[in-house]
Amino acid sequence: MSGILEFVTHPLNAVTFFPLVGVVAILLLAREKETLIRWVALGTSLITFVISLGVLGLFNPQDPGLQLVYDRPWFTVAGWTIRYVMGVDGLSILLLLLTTLLTPIAILSTWTAIQERVKEFMIFFLLLEIGMVGVFLALDLFLFYIFWEFTLVPMYFLIGMWGGPRRMYAAIKFFLYTMAGSILMLLAIVWLGLHYGTFSVPDILAQGPVMGPVQYWLFLAFAAAFAIKVPMWPLHSWLPDAHVEAPTAGSVILAGVLLKMGTYGFLRFNMSLFPDAAKYYAPWVALLAVIGIVYGAIVSFPQRDVKKLVAYSSVSHLGFVMLGLFAFTPQGIEGAILQMINHGISTGALFLIVGMIYERRHTRDLDAFGGLWKVMPVYAVLSLITALSSMGLPGLNGFVGEFNILLGALGSRVLGSYWFAGFAALGVILAAVYMLTMYQKVFLGPLDKEENKCLQDLNWREVVTLLPLIVLMFWIGLYPKPFFALMHPAVEHLLQAVLK
Amino acid sequence: MTVPVTWQDVAALLPEFFLVVWASALLLLDVFWIREKRTTAWLSALGFVVALVLAVGQMGRAPLLAFRGMVIADAFSVFLVALFALSGLVGILLAQDYLARNGIERGEFYVLLMFSVVGMMLMARVADLVMIFLALELFSLPLYVMTGFARPRADSEEAALKYFLLGAFASGFMAFGIALVYGATSTTSLPHMVDVIQAGEADLALLTAGAALVLTGLGFKIATVPFHMWTPDVYHGAPSPVSGFMAATAKMAGFAALLRLFVLVFPVVADLTPVLWALAALSMVLGNVAAIAQRNIKRLLAYSSIAHAGYMLSAAVAFADPHLGPQAVAAILFYLVAYVLATFGAWGVVILLERRIGQEGLLLEDYAGLSRQYPGLAAAMAVFMLSFIGVPPTLGFFGKFYLFRVVLDAGFVGLALIGVLTSLVSAYYYLRVVMLMYMKPGEPIVRREPRVQATVLAAAALTLFLGLTAASSLYAWATEAILRFG
Amino acid sequence: MLWQYVPIAIMLVLSMGLAALIVALGHLVGPSRPTHRKMIPYESGMVPIGPGMRRQPIRFYRIAMLFLLFDIEVVFLLPWAVVSRKLGLFGFIEALIFIAILLVGYLYAWKGGALEWE
């Protein structure tokens, strides 16, 4: 008993597994009590958020290493001790907070949108949160893989059961694409286990990173899993399908958190475990990232489905993150981490905004709107802020991240060329083009469609859903210092090890 | 002359002895006194419970050669005997309602099932080539009859005939292989054979040929490509509980003998490694690819069982490595447990949905909408499918993890790649079942049969939770189940 | 090492050769005057009724199968009988077990109606 108590009272375990309480509670509730189920799910995710704030309180920003480490032998098989290692550092603390923040927001957004099978929806959603939080906290490769693969299942059901008309195709495509990468990673993980005799990342790094020609293969195997998840061009084709078909809350989590699992994987595992390979491949990764930036932006432009537009813009934004990471400069990586958060906030908010109008009009076709400013002023203002944040207007959060990434890429010795940053900057301009075009088509111009004339503006619940994200957009945009302070020592620490 | 059989010998085979006596008595009771066939079912289930207790009682004992070296009671065999007793119990739980509702319930079914299980148990115990053949026949013959139990349905009879003819053919290969191995080593006793081979007195060419033929015979039983042709037809034609029982247990029995022979006796025929490699790769590829095209759930599960035989065989490829042998055995035993749980569970769901025997409720489309009306059943089936794919945290994931570990450790990177890529292929058709259950509307009709339902739910719970809570103890148990002689 | 099998081989060749020789001699030397009566199948001197290839009641097969089964099982008792004195009590008990199993099968066949003609 004391063992269990010790386990659950550790803050990282608590924040990971607290949603399980909600899952059990919802399982016990009758399926007709939909409102109660919604409240239980929301309450659970809010408490999880509070716990994650507690983790932040315990976190020491000056310490570059892993903190709050919970390290126990989990089980032993044939000479392998598989450890249960959880820990948090400057690389993951913000992503943890982003996850626990976006989950209640996403649940709140489903209040009226999800009317069917609420019970199953909330169960899958809370299970998904467990998987996502676990991915960011797990430091044992085996444990990490379990969380990583586990996120697939609830997301598959969320897309497939509550999605749009082509939801089954999108769901299975999502599952197969992601699994294709991760099973290659599984083989690489097994290889590391055979070679090091442990899966614990700190223990492996204590023995020194992987050397020799095999690291290039292992890097590629890990990269396969993460690059599909990010998604990097040309492995991105599952993303538009998944986003278009997923329900709003699914899209928010998919864009806000699941994609970050890929970039986080590069940051946490590929860079530190295979430093030489990472540097060797860096220009190629950067090349794909830049192609992704430009490609995503260009393809976004002609889209008529707003969700598809936002999905392709994600390909572009995540390209920035990858470019920043593989610049191997403090500015680049810090900008990339911040950009992960920014993208979670802005794109999450964009999907919420799309979901709100879809709930009213049941279409996402750009041509079906126009002049909404006149009937929905609150909505229009919030949308404008979000769109500006997404395209990187100075003063809002997107700018800070992209600017740092571009600076980092310019000063990067590993990349060794200005061209990457030059072409990436082109992406910033293109982002302004497609975002403003979209905004113009929806909100400006004459209010000429009959169906749009009697649209209701946002209710208090919808405003509450968006408000935390809007506040964060301004906060990061105007005063990003506390965010950088959280990650700076850890990034320096990582770069020292990698560039040594 | 002293009595050549002691109580120790009998104790070594206690579960088998008990089952034989019980089954014989039940055979007579059934024709003389029992009116309700259900009573026979319960009595045979009781027999399996007792056999399970007896098998568990054998755990932790020192390995013991019994009956003048014909059989052995070691940790490996006890592990499998316990598993077989449990499988027999589950087999009866799945079968009774199904047979009764389809009007094909006869007391002989349960007796045949018991005799078949005895044969399988002996497959795990073999210490002599002659015993392998005897045990093989003892577990196969009742299965042939059980396959044809839905007579006069033509597909059931066809399946039985096909299974019988091809099975007899495989037995022929087996017998010929045994003869060649005997010719190469001039002994049938496996422990003695190990000595002869180590002393370098065996004719290696002859031994390799013999081992290859034995592999053919066993490959038929475990349904690896290219000896798999019968599997879809037989699983399709046989009554569903029989298919489920065969899919789970016949494979176990085949692997029991295969592991004992190859890991313990035949490491010297390392020439066969490429052959096993090819069999494993072909089974994984062909089983999974062919399963995609199936629209009938029974055929889908048949092809999936071929693929899983391939996964297990891929760990057995490392048989010639003295260090990896025991690990391969442990990994395969672990995988078998995961596979058997999911197989029984999935076939249980098939049984519940089969409206008219062999005709209605067997198409994948019949599973549409299951999750709305029967959320528990659909969730259980989803768990089995995810376990078959190998998604954490199900037991199937841990099984695949250990298997790939052995394969990679042995240096067969190509085989491991084929393994993971075919798992990806398998995800497609397993997820189609999940998709139909959860994402398509439909009005499935499900039997209310509490025993089958309870079995299915128990299997699902074990598949889900065993992985997280008991994976290590299960693996430790499997690791201790090392093959040994004396 | 195969030399010890030579006598068997000689025996095989001799016996097969002798049989072939006798049949061949009969054909060559004996007179052959076929009549209709001589050409019809031999059924203990009776005149056959109907064609030779026709359907038989399944009951015959059942009886034949049971006969074969029990007949062959009993054959196993012969080698036991040869060494029964040497095996002593143990051998006796073994044989009893063997017969008991046969008896179970016999009782099952009997009660199950396999021996009923109608």
* Residue A421 in tokens: 């940053």
Please report, as a single letter, which amino acid is at residue A257: V
Q: Where are the domains of chain A?
A: 2-499
Instruction: For B32, name the nearest residue in chain C, comparing CA atoms only.
Output: C111
- The whole-number pLDDT of residue A112 equals 84
Quick check: B247 pLDDT over 90?
A: yes
Q: CA–CA separation, C33 vs A42, rounded Å?
A: 108
**Which string of b and e fits B162-196 if b means at least 16 CB within 10 Å?**
bbbebbeebbebbbbbbebbbebbebbbbbbbbeb
CB atoms within 10 A of CB A206: 10
Q: CA–CA separation, B185 vs A320, rounded Å?
A: 69
Quick check: B46 pLDDT over 70?
A: yes
Quick check: A7 pLDDT over 70?
A: yes
Residue C88 Rama label (left phi>0; alpha psi -120 to 50; beta) = left
What domains are there in chain C, each with its CATH number?
Answer: 2-111 (1.20.58)
Nearest residue, CB atoms, B438 vs list A74, A161, A183: A161
Q: Are A317 and A260 in contact (CB under 8 A)?
A: no
Residues paired with A70 in a beta bridge: A86
H helices present in C1-118, as ranges = 6-29, 36-39, 58-75, 77-111
**pLDDT (tens digit, 9 = 90+) per residue, B292-310?**
999 999 999 999 999 999 9
The percentage of residues in chain A with a pLDDT greater than 70, rounded to a whole number, is: 99
Q: CA–CA separation, B270 vs B319, rounded Å?
A: 8
CA nearest to B61, candidates B42, B43, B39, B76: B76
Query: Does the beta carbon of C108 lie under 8 angstroms from any beta carbon of chain B?
Result: yes
Quick check: B425 pLDDT over 80?
A: yes
| Chain centre distance of CA B455 | 18
CA angle at A495 for the pair A493 and A497, rounded to the nearest 5°: 75
Quick check: B10 pLDDT over 50?
A: yes
Q: CA–CA separation, A134 vs B174, rounded Å?
A: 51
Spell out the residues 6+ positions from residue C56 whose beta carbon is closer than 8 angstroms to its own. Answer: none
CA torsion angle C5 C7 C13 C14 (round to 10): -170
**Which one is predicted more confidently, A220 or B356?**
A220
* Residue B317 in tokens: 């490829």
**pLDDT (tens digit, 9 = 90+) per residue, B27-37?**
999 888 888 88
Quick check: B312 pLDDT over 90?
A: yes
Query: Does the beta carbon of C97 lie under 8 angstroms from any beta carbon of chain B?
Result: no
CB atoms within 10 A of CB B342: 29
Spell out the residues 6+ positions from residue A186 whose beta carbon is closer than 8 angstroms to its own. Answer: A145, B401, B404, B420
- Omega of the bond leading into A213 within 30 degrees of 0 (cis): no
**pLDDT (tens digit, 9 = 90+) per residue, B331-344?**
899 899 999 999 99
Q: Are A172 and A185 in contact (CB under 8 A)?
A: no
CB atoms within 10 A of CB B475: 23
Please report, as a single letter, which amino acid is at residue B251: K
Q: Which residues of C touch B115 (CB under 8 A)?
A: none
Quick check: B4 pLDDT over 90?
A: no
Residue A72's H or E segment, with its range, is strand A67-77
Residue with tokens 């009682």: B57
Quick check: A67 pLDDT over 90?
A: no
Nearest residue, CB atoms, C108 vs list B3, B5, B28: B28
CA nearest to A396, candidates A430, A356, A439, A345: A345
* Residue B334 in tokens: 């672990």
Q: Are A463 and A378 in contact (CB under 8 A)?
A: yes
Instruction: For B389, name the nearest residue in chain A, comparing CA atoms only.
Output: A179
Nearest residue, CB atoms, C104 vs list B1, B3, B24: B24
Q: CA–CA separation, A237 vs A438, rounded Å?
A: 22
* Residue A74 in tokens: 């989990």
Query: Does the beta carbon of A183 lie under 8 angstroms from any beta carbon of chain B?
Result: yes
CA nearest to C113, candidates C58, C62, C57: C62
The percentage of residues in chain B with a pLDDT greater than 70, rounded to a whole number, is: 98
Nearest residue, CB atoms, C104 vs list B3, B4, B28: B28
* Residue A84 in tokens: 């249960």
Please report, as a single letter, which amino acid is at residue A352: L
- The whole-number pLDDT of residue B477 equals 74
Count of CB pairs separated by less than 8 Å, A with B: 85
Q: Are B366 and B353 in contact (CB under 8 A)?
A: yes
Residue A68 Rama label (left phi>0; alpha psi -120 to 50; beta) = left
- Helices B107-125 and B75-101, axial angle in degrees (round to 10): 160
Q: Are B76 and B55 in contact (CB under 8 A)?
A: no
**pLDDT (tens digit, 9 = 90+) per residue, B156-191?**
999 999 999 999 999 999 999 999 999 999 899 998
Instruction: For B393, name the nearest residue in chain A, comparing CA atoms only.
Output: A146
CA of A108 vs chain B CAs: smallest distance (Å): 24
Instruction: Please state, in angstroms and as integers, the Cα–Cα distance from residue B110 to each residue in A320, B241, C111, following that order.
Output: 67, 12, 18
Q: Are B407 and B317 in contact (CB under 8 A)?
A: yes
H helices present in A328-393, as ranges = 330-361, 372-375, 377-391
ipTM of predicted assembly, 2 dp:
0.86
Nearest residue, CB atoms, A149 vs list B375, B391, B416: B391
Q: Do B28 and C107 touch (CB under 8 A)?
A: yes
**pLDDT (tens digit, 9 = 90+) per residue, A483-498?**
888 888 888 888 888 8
Q: CA–CA separation, A310 vs A350, rounded Å?
A: 7
Our separate counts of H helices and E strands in chain A read 23, 2
CA of B428 vs chain A CAs: smallest distance (Å): 7
Query: Does the beta carbon of C107 lie under 8 angstroms from any beta carbon of chain B?
Result: yes
Q: Are B394 and B258 in contact (CB under 8 A)?
A: no
Residue B98's H or E segment, with its range, is helix B75-101
**What's the pLDDT band for B272 if we cut at 50, 70, 90?**
confident
* Residue A102 in tokens: 């976006």
Q: Are B345 and B288 in contact (CB under 8 A)?
A: no
Quick check: B1 pLDDT over 50?
A: no
Q: CA–CA separation, B58 vs B77, rounded Å?
A: 10
CA nearest to B191, candidates B71, B111, B57, B295: B71
- The whole-number pLDDT of residue A193 equals 87
What is the mean predicted confidence (pLDDT) over A375-403?
Answer: 88
CA angle at B226 for the pair B220 and B228, rounded to the nearest 5°: 50
Q: Are A351 and A255 in contact (CB under 8 A)?
A: yes
Average pLDDT of chain C is 86
Q: Which residues of A touch B480 (CB under 8 A)?
A: none
CA of A106 vs chain B CAs: smallest distance (Å): 22
- Omega of the bond leading into A202 within 30 degrees of 0 (cis): no
Residue B66's H or E segment, with its range, is strand B64-66
Question: What SS3 class is residue A339?
Answer: helix
What is the mean predicted confidence (pLDDT) over B121-144?
Answer: 93
Instruction: Please state, in angstroms and as integers, the Cα–Cα distance from residue A13 to each residue in A18, A48, A87, following that order.
Output: 8, 11, 10
Predicted confidence pLDDT, tens digits, chain C (118 residues): 678 889 999 999 999 999 999 999 998 998 888 888 778 777 777 777 777 777 878 888 888 888 898 888 888 888 888 888 888 888 888 889 989 988 998 899 888 888 887 6
**What's the pLDDT band for A2 if we cut at 50, 70, 90?**
confident
Phi, psi angles (nearest 5°) of residue A493:
-60, -45
What is the mean predicted confidence (pLDDT) over A125-141?
Answer: 92
Q: Do A175 and B427 touch (CB under 8 A)?
A: yes
Q: Are B346 and B394 in contact (CB under 8 A)?
A: no
**pLDDT (tens digit, 9 = 90+) per residue, A429-468?**
888 888 888 888 888 888 877 777 788 888 888 888 899 9
| Chain centre distance of CA A84 | 24
Q: Are A409 and A333 in contact (CB under 8 A)?
A: no
